[in-house]
Structure 1
């Protein structure tokens, strides 16, 4: 299974790297936000620059997985290869594993510009334990957004998936408080942010890189979102499989 998963991951990566604009697009907005909003306004403040970088990292995790899986899966379903591959005796597990591996690689590539800009152009600081904690948090918060993307990709045709992914990403980013420093978002955002997947995720990132307190309510919300999105993703996959092969 491992070799099959790696083969599928290699196939997914080759498809993406053959269209560089798809890769550049996922990293452009967070990198541009760092250059135009973080660097000139809070770049000289170590605390705020660190928190802002954590917010942009969370933004990359959300958008990369939302678009990579939401749009990518929907587009794959429209191709003749997809239903054929799902009839092969290897089953769905290697394809799922390969897609997840490819998505992690692409997410990592998208994170590089944000981290480089923070290191070169801001006073953001992080300790070695903080860096290790941040890497762990990135892996954890990628899960609900991966599931969200899979739920969209297996539920909708490609054109509808593109629209829904585009409609979701900005409200989730703004409502989760990714566009502001901790505690400085508008009142209604501060109220709802801890219970949105983006708000819960960024609070874990803030706690990993700085002195932001861990909020049990946000952790509980992230766990509930992950469970709910896993249920929707499984339902969408089985529904799609039933419609194609029953």
Structure 2
């Protein structure tokens, strides 16, 4: 655990000293919320808050995990880390803890905007349940980001992460009411992990519907699939560069 905490501290300081990463990461979801959030906020500010909190976590998992790992894994520092007596699980735990720091800060900015600008509010127990669902629901996307990091070359990681991030957010209804989506697109989006995530978050944030257990089960399935892909990518990278 001490090694994981030390690795997390080093990762966090590295990103914090890089304003080109840290400032856009913190500001992007809240700015996007201010730009496109007004139509969604009418009568449903809690759903707006849940959708953009999920966007904040999606940003961190894709770009800190995906792009960060893809960029770092070919550096001499990463090569050196693999010679130390710390296994992959320890380094991964450090990355997760570091990402949680940025995720908490980014979600906090979204919560401030959602409550002060759009008037979102919920009971403390409901807010705690929403935070819990945000953390658990982000697991498939964190694993997908890790898979990006180990499968994609550094120069391809950022454009491909952007190409996948936007369709997942838009088609998954993170930024729209499901009722506003055309019927065909609504049916197609049901198979996306982001749609399952927002359905779970929406039921908790608004209390308008029971927890959709089939969407919760779908998130577990996505987590297992992306976890297998991430582990396969890690072993493949290790076999190619450290034989």
TM-score by length of 2: 0.94
Q: CA deviation at 1:125?
A: 1.7
Asked if 1:237 corresponds to 2:239, the answer is: no
**Equivalent residue number for residue 60 of structure 1:** 56
**Equivalent residue number for residue 108 of structure 2:** 112
Q: CA deviation at 1:81?
A: 1.2
CA distance in 1, matches of 2:185, 2:209: 17
Q: CA deviation at 1:92?
A: 2.0
Q: CA deviation at 1:206?
A: 0.6
**1:80-109 per-position Cα deviation (integer Å, ceiling 9, x unaligned):** 111221121222222111111001111111
Secondary structure of the corresponding residue to residue 201 of structure 2: helix
Q: Would you say the 8 A contact 2:62–2:141 is kept in 1?
A: yes
Q: Would you say the 8 A contact 2:67–2:157 is kept in 1?
A: yes
Secondary structure of the corresponding residue to residue 183 of structure 1: helix
Secondary structure of the corresponding residue to residue 212 of structure 1: coil
Compared with structure 1, are the counterparts of its residues 213 and 84 closer, same or farther at alpha carbon in structure 2 (3 Å cutoff)? same
Secondary structure of the corresponding residue to residue 190 of structure 2: helix
Unmatched tracts of structure 1, length 5 or more:
none
Q: Would you say the 8 A contact 1:30–1:56 is kept in 2?
A: yes
**Equivalent residue number for residue 4 of structure 1:** 3
1:118-137 superposed matches below 5 A: 118-137=114-133
Higher alpha-carbon deviation: 98-107 or 183-192:
183-192
Q: Would you say the 8 A contact 1:194–1:203 is kept in 2?
A: no
| Number of aligned positions between the proteins | 242
**Equivalent residue number for residue 191 of structure 1:** 187
Unmatched tracts of structure 2, length 5 or more:
none
Q: CA deviation at 1:187?
A: 1.6
TM-score by length of 1: 0.93
Q: Cα RMSD between the aligned structures?
A: 1.4
Q: Would you say the 8 A contact 1:53–1:114 is kept in 2?
A: yes
Q: CA deviation at 1:42?
A: 4.8
**Equivalent residue number for residue 22 of structure 1:** 21
Compared with structure 1, are the counterparts of its residues 41 and 11 closer, same or farther at alpha carbon in structure 2 (3 Å cutoff)? same
CA distance in 2, matches of 1:99, 1:42: 34
